[in-house]
Amino acid sequence: MSDPRWERLLTEMRAAHTLPELAGLCDFPREPIAQATAPHEIPASELLQVEEGLTTAHFTGFRDALIDAAPLAHWRETSKGTDIGGEFLDRFGCYEVLGEDAPYACDTMRCFIIYAPSDLYYPWHHHPAEELYLVLAGEAEFFIRGEPPKILRPGDTVFHESNVPHAMTTHDHPVLAYVLWRGDLETKPVWTNQEALQ
Ligand code: FE
Q: Which domains does the chain have, with CATH numbers?
A: 4-26+50-197 (2.60.120.10)
Following DSSP, what letter does each residue of 159-171 receive, concatenated? EE-TT--EEEE-S
Span from the CA of 189 to the centroid of ligand 1 (angstroms): 7
**What is the Å distance from ligand 1's center to 69 Cα?**
22
d(CA 1, ligand 1 centre) in Å: 31
For 105-139, the pLDDT digits (tens) are 999 999 999 999 999 999 999 999 999 999 999 99
Q: How many CB atoms lie within 10 A of CB 159?
A: 15
Q: What is the pLDDT of residue 77?
A: 81
pLDDT: which is higher, 112 or 82: 112
Residue 167 contacts residue 96 (beta carbons within 8 Å): no
Ligand 1: centre distance to CA 131 (Å): 6
Between the CA of 142 and the centroid of ligand 1 the distance, in Å, is 11
pLDDT single digits (tens) 10-23: 999 999 999 999 99
| In contact, 110 and 170? CB cutoff 8 Å | no
- Is the pTM of the predicted complex or chain greater than 0.85? yes
